[in-house]
Amino acid sequence: MQTVDVLVVGAGLAGLHTARLLAEQGLDVMVVDRRRSLSVGVRTTGIFVRRTLDDFDLPDAALGPGIRDVLLYPPSRRAPIRLTSDRDEYRVADMAAIYEHARRTAESAGARIHLGVRYIEASTGPVRFAGAEPVVARFIIGADGARSRVARDLGLDVNRRFLVGAEIVHPIASRTTVPAFHCVLDPRIAPGYLGWVIDDGWHTHVGVAGYPDAMRTGVRHLLDAFAADAPGRAAPTGPIERRGGPIPVGGVLKRLVCPAGLLVGDAAGAVSPLTAGGLDPCLRMSELAAAVTVAYLRTGDQHVLRAYDGGALRTRFRGRLLLRGIFAGMRSPAAVEAAVAALRGRAGRAVAARILFGDGSFPDVDQRRRTRSAP
């Protein structure tokens, strides 16, 4: 039976980034994922914001062109609001290539990655897998998605508020316009969220997301209806890929860590409640999680774990949770039309630009300061 310092369950961006950081500190790290290939089961659109691109080393070849324009459409889709930044705000990634890059860097650091291994449970004794030998782990990191089984086994909090999203990804024949991020606010197609069209230089992503209880006809039907005449979409060529899944929007969970392990990424609720963006927070929280894990395993001091306090992190985004609640309650197209109209003024455009082009990050954590201040 193998023994490891850290077992990471889930080889998404959060899991692989955390594994690399831990392995670089000399820990014996194993990563398992039930997928046999990291190019399958991709769920995210792969939109990276400027502050992520500034702060993290991502392979440029896997990133599409910079996007500076965001168009906000009301339900009528007439006269969209165009917001333009003086710098590149978004780049859409080929996520299969991003995952493969993260895998290579984690393995280069010394982490062992095993695909096609399905986690069963870790509540008592060695960690069990389907069809594989159990593993004894000093610490377990749950990076296994929005409906984390690791969280339940460790007795940690679980996500309870979700949007459900789906998108169509298809190749484009050629680019004829400057790339832009098209966002349609319409509760008939995306109750509590939006429909989007954005491209990564190779493919166009057309998607919708919303609260499942309000999607009376189902997300796939709404997506197909939206894709038929979505603004900004290029004429598709070649095969079409479909992807989607749950998006936790209740914010970072309060109980994220215990002496047996902790949660990162979607499993931790590390997704902006307002914008539903999860790539930036998953990387930032992974750095904090890795710092806390290293300190705990080296000292055995459980007080170190307090630095990974979900309750403290939640206080940093109360405004986003409030706006999420307001957005969730706007189920009338007329109300959304009026809200978009309010954004046309100077103050409204400033608020929209702050949300879409802001310099802050979610959550805004400094793992060095927080681990140093832990009692």
Question: At 244, is the secondary structure helix, strand, or coil?
Answer: strand
Q: Mean pLDDT per 10-residue run, the chain (375 residues)?
A: 95 97 98 93 91 93 95 95 96 94 98 96 87 93 97 96 94 77 96 93 92 92 93 80 94 95 97 92 94 97 94 81 87 94 93 87 54 39
> From CA 91, how far away is CA 253, in angstroms rounded?
28
What distance lies between CA 69 and its chain's CA centroid? 22
Tokens of 305: 């774990």
Sign of CA dihedral 85, 203, 235, 173: positive
Question: Hey, what are 234's tokens?
Answer: 């290029």
Mention every residue, 6+ apart, whose C-beta is less than 8 A from residue 208.
Answer: 165, 166, 167, 189, 190, 193, 194, 195, 196, 219, 222, 223, 226
Amino acid at site 37: S
**Which residues, at least 6 apart from 179, have a Cβ–Cβ distance to it below 8 Å?**
64, 65, 66, 67, 69, 198, 199, 201
Helix H or strand E segment including 18? helix 13-24
- Euclidean distance between CA atoms 24 and 108, whole angstroms: 9
Q: What is the pLDDT of residue 1?
A: 82
* Residue among 258, 268, 165 at smallest CA distance from 207: 165
Angstrom distance (rounded) from CA 232 to CA 227: 10
For the chain, give every domain's residue range: 2-319+358-373
Q: For strand 2-9 and strand 29-33, is the pairing parallel, antiparallel, or unpaired?
A: parallel
What would you measure as the largest C-alpha separation in the chain, in angstroms? Answer: 65
Q: What local confidence, expressed as pLDDT, does residue 202 receive?
A: 83
| Whether 21 contacts 61, CB under 8 Å | no
Token pair of 225 as six digits: 């209806």
**DSSP alpha helix (H) spans, 189-315:** 219-228, 279-299, 310-314
The token pair that represents 319 in the structure block: 């405004």
Hey, is 159 helix, strand or coil? Answer: coil
**CATH C-level class of 2-319+358-373:** alpha beta
pLDDT for 365 equals 60
To which H or E segment does residue 141 belong? strand 132-142
Among 13, 6, 40, 45, which residue's Cα sits nearest to residue 116?
40
Query: Using an 8 Å Cβ cutoff, are 187 and 260 in contact?
Result: no
Using only C-alpha atoms, the chain has a radius of gyration, in whole angstroms, of 21
Cis omega (within 30 of 0) for bond into 363: yes
Half-sphere exposure of 47 (CA within 13 A, CB side): 25
103: exposed, middle or buried (Cβ count in 10 Å: 0-12, 13-18, 19+): buried
CA dihedral 96, 154, 162, 213 (to 10 degrees): 130
Closest by CA to 77, choosing from 234, 194, 207, 217, is 194
Tally of residues, the chain: 375
Taking Cα atoms as reference points, which of 224, 162, 216 lies closest to residue 193?
162
pLDDT for 367 equals 44
Give the pLDDT confidence score for residue 175 in this predicted structure.
64
pLDDT at site 375: 35
